[in-house]
């Protein structure tokens, strides 16, 4: 089954066909580091981390670029309100962002492109658009004339006539059309600025990403990802800028957009008081639980975030971790000879591999892929009751680890490996078993009860007593 990707531009699932064989160029709109990373950011970046991981699993060589919008209106406003230098704000919040991404196992990005590193390329692109008559300068500002681009609205479905200003929108009367957007903004007091043919100023938001991607990838590339709310006007503007400048269409072959993060049925916004910063969420839940929560839904689906939903995700993920722990113990210390359930488990693993890839090939359907892992976990638990050999457990664990690598799950428990804690627990279990054989039940019960107090439960299995850590 070929990999199918839902393309926002064509509004259908399409076979994934790259420009350059097994090479994939992928860009995702990155962070504007002016405030705390919020849960909507986390959903987006977990999604496209998963996309890059699966493409690599399929044998593609992915070059994943994410921008850092280190000059933009919201950052400037925060600077002016706080009295802090914009570079200090960027340094603070990009550091937080990187720490949050590490906690969420978001590791697939190859290159972070900072907007201010591309000022010369931005200026050259704006000059090109002015020369073509697509952009025009007014009083040190430069605007893009959307009426000169016949593809405006093709991504979002909006048309120029629908983009008239509402009653509460103040339109810049210097614009030829209300929908025209800024490519270059003249310097205002206290703002950072760079020299340009139109005077000191700074780039508009939309042109930053176009300059980065055209500079790195050329006039066309494979995947552009981002949240749904960026589709208009940001992504629409990227298309208009690049295609008008280069003449190459489509600018991006596959546009991918993740569903909104909702809270109580409403979009998450600071103005509504329903804003969740990821560092706050990480105080309550492990990063892998957050990641599991996001991936346990299709990426194009909206997700309703709640503490109740997170608690359920925590319980569900813990069930998988419990099974992983038991499997890992058996793979290290299980019986060497063939056991009753080995063949059944091997068959289940083979079927799970096929079903997992079928789900992921269907537009990265992680919800179905995770359902496959749960079904396999149930079979693993049943097989343990009948008896599983060390070799069969190792084969199964190897496949679970592949699933985990694709989804970015089971990473923490996998990194722990056979640590001293494991060895000490094994020793205590052995001492307890010796006490039971001597019928010294006072000692054996004391060990069991004390282990339970610290979150370790003991279970009898065909291959012997095993422990489970909560």
Residue 163's pLDDT is: 47
Percent of the chain scoring above 70 in pLDDT: 92
Q: Which residues pair with 194 in a beta bridge?
A: 201
The domain 4-258 having CATH identifier 3.40.50.620: the answer here is yes
CA torsion 124-152-214-299 (nearest 10°) is 140
CA distance 220 to 254: 11
Per the document, the length of the chain is 470
Stretch 285-300: mean pLDDT: 98
- The answer, yes or no, to whether residue 167 has pLDDT greater than 60, is no
Kindly list the domain boundaries of the chain, sorted by start residue.
4-258, 312-469
CA torsion 228-230-234-236 (nearest 10°) is 0
Q: Is 414 helix (H, G, I), strand (E, B) or coil?
A: helix
Q: What's the chain's average pLDDT? A: 91
Q: Is 300 helix (H, G, I), strand (E, B) or coil?
A: coil
Which among 321, 395, 381 is positioned nearest to 353, based on CA atoms? 395
Per-residue model confidence as pLDDT tens digits over 207-266: 999 999 999 999 999 999 999 999 999 999 999 999 999 999 999 999 999 999 998 777
Contact between 26 and 63 under an 8 Å Cβ cutoff? The reply is yes
Per-residue model confidence as pLDDT tens digits over 12-33: 999 999 999 999 999 999 999 9
- Paired sense of beta strands 252-258 and 221-227, if any: parallel
Which among 98, 115, 116 is positioned nearest to 107, based on CA atoms? 98
Q: If residue 421 lies in a helix (H) or strand (E), which one and from where to where?
A: helix 420-437
Which among 38, 207, 217 is positioned nearest to 118, based on CA atoms? 207
In terms of Cβ atoms closer than 10 Å to its own Cβ (0-12, 13-18, 19+), residue 453 is exposed
CA distance 467 to 470: 10
Region for residue 335 given its phi and psi (left: phi exceeds 0; alpha: psi -120 to 50; beta: otherwise): beta
Region for residue 263 given its phi and psi (left: phi exceeds 0; alpha: psi -120 to 50; beta: otherwise): beta
Q: Is 13 helix (H, G, I), strand (E, B) or coil?
A: strand
Percent of the chain scoring above 90 in pLDDT: 75
Per-residue model confidence as pLDDT tens digits over 37-75: 999 999 999 999 999 999 999 999 999 999 999 999 999
Q: Is 307 helix (H, G, I), strand (E, B) or coil?
A: helix
Contacts of 126 (CB under 8 A, 6+ apart): 135, 142, 183, 184, 196, 203, 207
Stretch 300-320: mean pLDDT: 95
Contact between 305 and 41 under an 8 Å Cβ cutoff? The reply is no
Residue 470's pLDDT is: 59
32 vs 456, which has greater pLDDT? 32
pLDDT band at 417 (very low <50, low <70, confident <90, very high): low
CA 407 to chain centre: 10
275: number of CA atoms within 13 Å, CB side? 12
Please provide residue 282's backbone torsions phi and psi, each rounded to the nearest 5 degrees.
-70, -15
Please provide residue 53's backbone torsions phi and psi, each rounded to the nearest 5 degrees.
-60, -45
């Amino acid at each position: 089954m070929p990999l199918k990707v839902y393309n926002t531009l064509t509004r259908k699932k399409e076979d994934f066909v790259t420009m350059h064989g097994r090479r994939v160029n992928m860009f995702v709109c990155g962070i504007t580091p002016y405030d705390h990373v919020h849960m909507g950011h986390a959903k987006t970046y977990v999604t496209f981390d998963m996309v890059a991981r699966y493409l690599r699993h399929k044998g593609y060589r992915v070059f994943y670029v994410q921008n850092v919008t280190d000059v933009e209106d919201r950052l400037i406003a925060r600077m002016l309100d706080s009295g802090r230098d914009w570079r200090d704000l960027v340094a603070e919040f990009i550091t937080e962002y990187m720490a949050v991404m590490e906690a969420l196992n978001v590791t697939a990005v190859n290159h972070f492109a900072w907007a201010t590193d591309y000022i010369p390329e931005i200026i050259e692109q704006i000059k090109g658009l002015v020369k073509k008559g697509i952009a025009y300068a007014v009083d040190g500002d430069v605007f893009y004339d959307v009426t000169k681009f016949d593809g405006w609205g093709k991504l979002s479905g909006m048309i120029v006539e629908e983009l008239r200003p509402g009653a509460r929108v103040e339109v810049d009367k210097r614009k030829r059309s209300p929908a025209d957007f800024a490519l270059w903004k003249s310097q205002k007091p206290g703002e950072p600025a760079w020299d340009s043919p139109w005077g000191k100023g700074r780039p508009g938001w939309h042109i930053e990403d176009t300059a980065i991607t055209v500079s790195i990838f050329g006039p066309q590339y494979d995947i552009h990802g981002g949240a749904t709310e960026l589709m208009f006007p940001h992504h629409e503007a990227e298309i208009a800028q690049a295609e008008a400048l280069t003449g190459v269409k489509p600018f991006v072959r596959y546009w991918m957009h993740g569903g909104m993060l909702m809270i109580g049925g409403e979009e998450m916004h600071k103005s509504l008081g329903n804003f969740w910063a990821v560092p706050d969420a990480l105080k309550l839940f492990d990063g892998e639980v957050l990641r599991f929560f996001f991936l346990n839904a299709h990426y194009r689906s909206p997700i309703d975030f709640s503490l109740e939903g997170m608690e359920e995700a925590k319980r569900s993920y813990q069930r998988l971790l419990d099974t992983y722990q038991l499997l890992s113990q058996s793979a290290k210390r299980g019986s060497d000879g063939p056991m009753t359930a080995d063949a059944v488990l091997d068959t289940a693993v083979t079927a799970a591999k096929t079903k997992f890839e079928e789900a992921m090939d269907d537009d990265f359907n992680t919800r179905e892929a995770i359902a496959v892992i749960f079904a396999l976990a149930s079979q693993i638990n049943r097989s343990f009751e009948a008896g599983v050999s060390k070799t069969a457990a190792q084969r199964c664990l190897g496949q679970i680890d592949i699933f985990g690598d694709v989804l970015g799950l089971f990473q923490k428990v996998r990194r722990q490996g056979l640590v001293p804690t494991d060895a000490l627990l094994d020793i205590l279990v052995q001492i307890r078993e010796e006490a039971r054989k001597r019928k010294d039940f006072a000692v054996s019960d004391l060990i069991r009860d004390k282990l339970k107090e610290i979150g370790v439960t003991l279970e009898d299995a065909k291959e012997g007593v095993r422990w489970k850590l909560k």
